[in-house]
A and B are shown apart, each in its own frame.
Chain A
């Protein structure tokens, strides 16, 4: 059944030019897993009959049940290509056998961290786009991510069957729709063009776009058709491919090609329509009409032979089999993958800069660049995969250089590892190296560079990801950490029903945080265990995994969603506040103001956002920072030089600026004041939430002349108090997190969507009708706090036709004064304070501010 053995697979791993590491990425429900089936079927792991239905890569029960992919799944496939099909391939190759390490990734926005993890260990991406829905929000996200990682994309326009069966589009209409999809993809990618990666724009005539119907298992590229017509038109394949796309028209009557449509002649049609779309349409309609006589004739002409038992089929089943025989999806896709996606040998040459943290001329960087199987070992583990039974995990990753073998002793460098130190560093033995062949795993002795690999025996030292090197490679730097496009903003507390089962919960949480690239399991100050996820669905899946898989079904109590707020100020402090130290001998004078001036263009990113994006931060060159702040945000140049610190956690979106002139001993207390600032910006005065967008200015300082009386003990608590006082005098406000919600619905129900969104406090950002389809694209900003029943309400109101994709977008100031009785933010603060076990009312200003 399986057309290859583990030995063959292992053998082809050594041919680094014949390997393709690729991920399949797309928006949710555009048919990634279904399409992947065709490739898996071609390798013989599943039979062609069921390809498109089994969703081989959806291995979990809940994935099958919900019909969406949740975890990315890797699978290694081995193909023998024919000489003929490789004739045109100009790149380096070693023989005809190819190894494709494929990773199917989830499309739902909540699981985009899985995509990030998949992209890191692949070199190419097959981007799947629904030909009708077109480029959606998640398509954009994954495209952006893949280019950021220098992953070369190829496109397949999927669900072609819908054009023929559902919409019954005519050729020209369909062509326009496809052209639009391709253009949109190119437009999305163009800002992220990268010199080293080369042009990534996809074009059908270059063979980088395929047209597929995953469900029915057929696909074609223009080269599939070009080959058929080469003989007829007596031109070479490349020339023919060009003619089959764009403004090339053929007049069947005159047998002439032209560059513009000759409207006078009814027989003049676009090349694509005439030679690709129409033949397919004819075959499909013949199949659907069960006109078998005609069909056999046509198939004869196309030299397609069907098996005897297949000839008995009718309708859709017949159509599926005929199309599979004529235009097998695997052929077209494989050709595209082999021809246009880079081999590790090629890709690592330009990816090394993106990957390696250390100097690019050390032996490790060189080995990565050359994809050298004999070089020093460099493996990046991008995710942990739970083993089905034992409660252990496979460390799944990619060998970038060297060869990892069973029994190797490796250095594990975790995410907090600092070269030269012993922090987050372990030396352990790889117990087993494993490759994935469909649902089962095969142990192999070793895995050379350029391949994906799963390792056993390291899971107790890797939380989520790590870099592995040789035991002796003490000077190796780690591979850069992955950057996720989403962040965990939705949190829920978990506790066990029975307190005695706490150890079980702790163990479960440990495992949970391993199994997912982004979930964060922490403990709150209230002692509650909290799980943070990207979205509601993500959290739901995590909780389910926790209870069923990692805790053996133990009862847990899940708390209501906890929303993180931020504290900010909206005006300058009404007056300069002063706080005295406990010994009354030191006085600090401070003011608070918003980081952004009020007259700033709202379209422009705020200073806080710029800090988030790490464009400015504590490690900047002071001149550079000053330039950005003065030119983009209108700060005084000198002021920018006087920034003492960013906080909380030394890089947060708040600043501390020294405005004093000629104060004695100031340098001595700097560290203490900053310590107070880190503390205060982490726990604001309103509800002990993080601050955001606040700038504290130190206006004046009076210090005791003895250094013992102005030590940290006197200054740290005082600077914290002064900052609270400054915050309270500067019209403090709460900020709430906002989702950007993307909804694609039929225009007929768009009105209902508006109603539901407005009732949940949403505001419309943009709406667009998708040309040529009955679909409308709506984008809303929605407060996260009110998003929890949004999906359900939306489904109810649109009878299940609207499916929102929510992603955290920005923090929005709640306009109401938290000190006003009964205000929204006042209530929120009261709730938070209650949860955190603080006093009911906000500590008054008089507690923080001292009189002279």
Chain B
């Protein structure tokens, strides 16, 4: 029991609940901590009861729809909770409605061994060391700092060691005025970061040309700053170029909790439309290759999610997945990439709608195709619909679509909308030639789950 109390910071949690006088509290557990959920809830209830906070209703939530790192506000609102206590690793994305309290859990850490290996590391390479860590080790960081300082003193090391900091452990909805932390300068670094949860994470900054300014990063609840490095995220650059060529874009909704997600989705839609492309909004939980391949007409997907899950390895996917930031780069004409990189879409949210230059001077040059390409313009279509000949023109277009090479539409991204794509498919469902006009009699269908219908299980049992 004590173990649970300490590991899950039960007393601190109880204090938090009591201090704000919440009566309905949701406890959100990630899968790996689920087995302790009952014990934690019990301990918390006991603690609350002991401190005069009886009558607080606790609910355990599990199997989060998107990612257990985000606060599941939708789930919590089902039970009308006033606050969410989030256990385990968190991405610290701001919530939109509910306040949240984060408990990272505590994992044991051998600070001495850790400090020694840090020293080892700095001896081998003359580079700066940045210490990143899983949030479950946050409790041990002060100890580690002391150990390292001690070791360096005795070994007269001069190499600088930097530590990431934990942002905060309490979060209020972002609409509230008192934001507990300042995130004005939140450029986030991406793929060079490695968070190792097996002990200590060392991030060796691979760039040594220290320039005057420093860049501040925050990711996964950690925040740190390093000198600017000019390394290009090359693969991302390729994706941006590829997205520029896409005609149909799927917007994947990867979160229902992060503050401003609705806004950014709207903004994406607007941006895509302004670029003369077609967008479809899809909600599918955590994307995987099978789910995305159900929408083969989309040539690129924009994944709107919390910063920590934003980067997906889209190598195995039929179409690349990009972040909203990359989408902004790709779909805004004449915008050049300056090397900065934003994962958190809240930095992208603009209150005003982006201005569209109505007529561009030059055709767009595609580096994927190696020549000029022009995006089909949706503005033209809208104008046409005003005229009285609209129907005739639409029919004319429908006719011209039929002349197209279906292969090009299906496999080379020649479609302008999902309708084009579906029309090009070789299989168009059952033909209308039924034998008799009389409908068949009603039959009992199959029952059970698709993984094994009832009659199927019996068959395999035989």
Does chain A bind chain B?
Answer: yes
A525 proximal to B (CB < 8 A)? yes
Q: Contacts A414-B372, A528-B234, A837-B235; is A716 near B365 (CB within 8 Å)?
A: no
Closest 7 CB pairs of A and B: A527-B234, A713-B294, A463-B371, A650-B407, A460-B362, A523-B367, A420-B400
Give per-residue flags for A487-530: 1 if the beta carbon is below 8 A from chain B beta carbons, else 0. Answer: 00000000000011011001001100100000011111111110
Q: Are B368 and A523 in contact (CB under 8 A)?
A: yes
Nearest to A708 among chain B residues (CB) is B450
Within the assembled complex, what's the spacing in Å between the Cα atoms of A651 and B405? 12
Within the assembled complex, what's the spacing in Å between the Cα atoms of A715 and B293? 8
With both chains docked as a complex, state the minimum distance between the C-beta of B155 and any C-beta of chain A, in angstroms.
Answer: 36
Can you list 15 pairs linking A and B with CB atoms under 8 Å apart? A421-B400, A423-B373, A423-B374, A424-B373, A424-B374, A426-B363, A462-B372, A464-B371, A502-B336, A581-B290, A582-B290, A704-B450, A706-B450, A713-B291, A717-B290
Within the assembled complex, what's the spacing in Å between the Cα atoms of A362 and B86? 73
> Which residues of chain B come closer than 8 Å to A708, judged between CB atoms?
450
Cβ-defined partner of B336 (8 Å) among A420, A503, A510, A618: A503
Give per-residue flags for B412-437: 1 if the beta carbon is below 8 A from chain A beta carbons, else 0. Answer: 10000000000001110000000000
> Which residues of chain A come closer than 8 Å to B371, judged between CB atoms?
414-416, 463-464, 513
Cβ-defined partner of A529 (8 Å) among B316, B367, B400: B367
Q: Contacts A711-B294, A716-B293, A716-B296; is A674 near B374 (CB within 8 Å)?
A: no
Interface-located stretch among B68-76, B236-244, B259-267: B236-244
With both chains docked as a complex, state the minimum distance between the C-beta of A152 and any C-beta of chain B, in angstroms.
Answer: 32
Given contacts A502-B337, A529-B367, A837-B235, 8 further A-B contacts (CB under 8 A): A423-B376, A424-B372, A502-B336, A523-B241, A524-B238, A675-B296, A675-B318, A679-B318
With both chains docked as a complex, state the minimum distance between the C-beta of B319 and any C-beta of chain A, in angstroms.
Answer: 10
Q: Are B412 and A649 in contact (CB under 8 A)?
A: yes
Q: Are B339 and A500 in contact (CB under 8 A)?
A: yes
A603 proximal to B (CB < 8 A)? no
A180 proximal to B (CB < 8 A)? no
> Which residues of chain A come closer than 8 Å to B368, judged between CB atoms?
522-523
| Residues of A400-434 contacting chain B, CB below 8 A | 414-416, 418, 420-426
Within the assembled complex, what's the spacing in Å between the Cα atoms of A415 and B295? 29
With both chains docked as a complex, state the minimum distance between the C-beta of A782 and any C-beta of chain B, in angstroms.
Answer: 27
B50 proximal to A (CB < 8 A)? no
| Residues of B367-411 contacting chain A, CB below 8 A | 367-374, 376-377, 380, 400, 403-405, 407-408, 410-411
B361 proximal to A (CB < 8 A)? yes
With both chains docked as a complex, state the minimum distance between the C-beta of B392 and any C-beta of chain A, in angstroms.
Answer: 14
Cβ-defined partner of B411 (8 Å) among A585, A670, A675: A675
A729 proximal to B (CB < 8 A)? no
A744 proximal to B (CB < 8 A)? no
With both chains docked as a complex, state the minimum distance between the C-beta of A667 and any C-beta of chain B, in angstroms.
Answer: 5
A175 proximal to B (CB < 8 A)? no
Nearest to A463 among chain B residues (CB) is B371
Q: Are B290 and A713 in contact (CB under 8 A)?
A: yes
| Residues of B330-369 contacting chain A, CB below 8 A | 336-339, 361-363, 365, 367-369
> Which residues of chain B come closer than 8 Å to A704, judged between CB atoms?
450
Cβ-defined partner of A712 (8 Å) among B296, B339, B362, B400: B296
Within the assembled complex, what's the spacing in Å between the Cα atoms of A464 and B372? 9
User: What is the size category of the interface that chain A forms with chain B?
Assistant: 35 or more
With both chains docked as a complex, state the minimum distance between the C-beta of B296 and any C-beta of chain A, in angstroms.
Answer: 5
With both chains docked as a complex, state the minimum distance between the C-beta of A270 and any C-beta of chain B, in angstroms.
Answer: 56
Q: Are A527 and B294 in contact (CB under 8 A)?
A: no
Nearest to A667 among chain B residues (CB) is B427
With both chains docked as a complex, state the minimum distance between the C-beta of B211 and any C-beta of chain A, in angstroms.
Answer: 12
Cβ-defined partner of B370 (8 Å) among A522, A527, A582, A678: A522
A609 proximal to B (CB < 8 A)? no
A709 proximal to B (CB < 8 A)? yes
A82 proximal to B (CB < 8 A)? no
> Which residues of chain A come closer than 8 Å to B238, judged between CB atoms?
523-527
Give per-residue flags for B236-256: 1 if the beta carbon is below 8 A from chain A beta carbons, else 0. Answer: 111001000000000000000
> Which residues of chain B come closer than 8 Å to A572, judged between CB atoms?
none
With both chains docked as a complex, state the minimum distance between the C-beta of B410 and any C-beta of chain A, in angstroms.
Answer: 6
With both chains docked as a complex, state the minimum distance between the C-beta of B360 and any C-beta of chain A, in angstroms.
Answer: 9
> Which residues of chain A come closer than 8 Å to B369, judged between CB atoms?
522
Q: Are B237 and A713 in contact (CB under 8 A)?
A: no
Within the assembled complex, what's the spacing in Å between the Cα atoms of A421 and B290? 33
With both chains docked as a complex, state the minimum distance between the C-beta of B15 and any C-beta of chain A, in angstroms.
Answer: 46
B206 proximal to A (CB < 8 A)? no
Within the assembled complex, what's the spacing in Å between the Cα atoms of A582 and B338? 40
> Which residues of chain B come closer than 8 Å to A502, judged between CB atoms?
232, 336-337
> Which residues of chain A come closer than 8 Å to B318, judged between CB atoms?
675, 679, 716-717
Q: Contacts A502-B336, A527-B237; is A422 near B363 (CB within 8 Å)?
A: no
Q: Contacts A523-B237, A712-B296; is A583 near B290 (CB within 8 Å)?
A: yes
